[in-house]
Amino acid sequence: ELKVEQNPLFLSMQEGKNYTIYCNYSTTSDRLYWYRQDPGKSLESLFVLLSNGAVKQEGRLMASLDTKARLSTLHITAAVHDLSATYFCAVFITGNQFYFGTGTSLTVIP
Amino acid sequence: NAGVTQTPKFQVLKTGQSMTLQCAQDMNHNSMYWYRQDPGMGLRLIYYSASEGTTDKGEVPNGYNVSRLNKREFSLRLESAAPSQTSVYFCASSEAPGLRYASTDTQYFGPGTRLTVL
């Protein structure tokens, strides 16, 4: 059974601090996605990681992919309140299927 | 350019009633998906359509049927609703997830349908 596990599930952090969200998956895939969801809203694409060693950065967020370890990370630098949201990773597998992690609910405290 | 649209936004059904959730995209995407989102469980794939004319089961297809009406539209039908189908339903589309280095290779999501089955 394919598993996509994120940790932590809940994260409360102070503004200005750094933290990393982890996404582990149990099957072979070289394609990993990160999404953001604000409360009551839809999902918005953040990053697409298409190969081993891929690193993408946008503002205070940086995502990386290690396909050999089956691990992706989403690093938050100097958090600000606007980053408060739920973050999902998703793995793409053969057959055009995406499997999502359970999400990490991030709250940034002033 | 509306992206992915879904109707209705909210719906309340009684157990045993049927309904169809509609989804349309105007980005000329090949692939379309239906997910359900439940608290603490992330998004789970119900059905998907890799291209016009094809549909396949995802992780949780029981109790649902789909129709890929044309390239733009992908509908989800609940034939006999059950309380366990109370959820938020999202439709998504993507250009070409099978192409290895497609620069726009991601999913675009609709606003969601909040369904309650009593």
pLDDT the model gives residue A90: 94
Distances in Å between the Cα of A103 and the Cα atoms of A9, B27, B61 are: 6, 27, 22
Q: Find the CB nearest B50 among A50, A90, A96.
A: A96
Is the model's pLDDT at B98 over the cut of 90? Answer: no
d(CA A76, CA A13): 10
**What is the arithmetic mean of pLDDT over B24-42?**
91
Is the model's pLDDT at B102 over the cut of 60? Answer: no
Residues 67-96 of B with CB under 8 A from A: 90, 92
Quick check: B108 contacting A, CB < 8 Å?
Answer: yes
Give CA angle at A54 (A70, A87), nearest 5°.
65
pLDDT the model gives residue A50: 83
Quick check: B41 contacting A, CB < 8 Å?
Answer: yes
pLDDT band at B1 (very low <50, low <70, confident <90, very high): confident
More confident residue, A51 or A100: A100
| Contact assignment for A42 to B112 by CB distance below 8 Å | yes
d(CA A62, CA A26): 22
